[in-house]
Structure 1
Amino acid sequence: MMPQLVTVRVRRPDRRTIRVWVPVLPVVLVLSPILLLAAVGVVVACRMYQVNAMRALATGWRVFWALSGTRFDVEYGGTGVLVSMR
């Protein structure tokens, strides 16, 4: 299932927390022209390195669909960042 919502939580050293919720579908729709150019770039790079372009694009699509439920948690010093995909 495609991720629907990305939650970003930043904990600052003074223990204040900032949360941002980003809906994935509207962001993908707004950035679709750039994504189309990126796909063309992937096809050109695959041609240069003699890789099957359809297989590379399909694998990238499967990885994107598998991101649902993924969490990234990074802490450095007093600052922490948590990215959660639902």
Structure 2
Amino acid sequence: MMPQLLTVRIKRPDRRPIRIWVPVLPVVLVFSPIVVLAVLMAAVACLVYRVSAVRALGTSWRIVSALPGTRFDIEQGGTAVLVAIR
């Protein structure tokens, strides 16, 4: 299943935390011309390096499908960033 929501939370010292919710589908639709070009470039790269394009596409879909439930926590000094993919 494709990820539905990306949640970003930024904690800053001495300030209120910032929360941003990003729906994935509208972002993908807005950037779809760039996505089409990226897929075409990946297909050309597969031909150049003699990799099966169908297998590469299947592997890419598996990676995208495995993203829901992933969390990234980055902390440096007093600032912390949490990215959760749902």
Match of 1:45 in 2: 45
Report the Cα distance in structure 1 between the residues aligned to 2:49 and 2:16, rounded to whole angstroms. Answer: 48
Match of 1:20 in 2: 20
Question: How many residues of Structure 1 are paired with residues of Structure 2 in the alignment?
Answer: 86
Structure 1: segments with no counterpart, 5+ residues: none
Match of 1:74 in 2: 74
Match of 1:10 in 2: 10
Structure 2: segments with no counterpart, 5+ residues: none
Question: 1:15, CA displacement in angstroms?
Answer: 4.5
Report the Cα distance in structure 2 between the residues aligned to 1:47 and 1:64, rounded to whole angstroms. Answer: 22
Identity of aligned residues (%): 66
What is the CA deviation profile of residues 20-62 of structure 1, one whole-angstrom value per residue up to 9, with x for unaligned ones? 0000111111111110000001011111111111111111111
With the length of structure 1 as denominator, give the TM-score of the two structures: 0.93
Question: 1:83, CA displacement in angstroms?
Answer: 0.3
Match of 2:32 in 1: 32
Report the Cα distance in structure 2 between the residues aligned to 1:15 and 1:54, rounded to whole angstroms. Answer: 49
With the length of structure 2 as denominator, give the TM-score of the two structures: 0.93
Report the Cα distance in structure 1 between the residues aligned to 2:24 and 2:16, rounded to whole angstroms. Answer: 26
Report the Cα distance in structure 2 between the residues aligned to 1:37 and 1:14, rounded to whole angstroms. Answer: 43
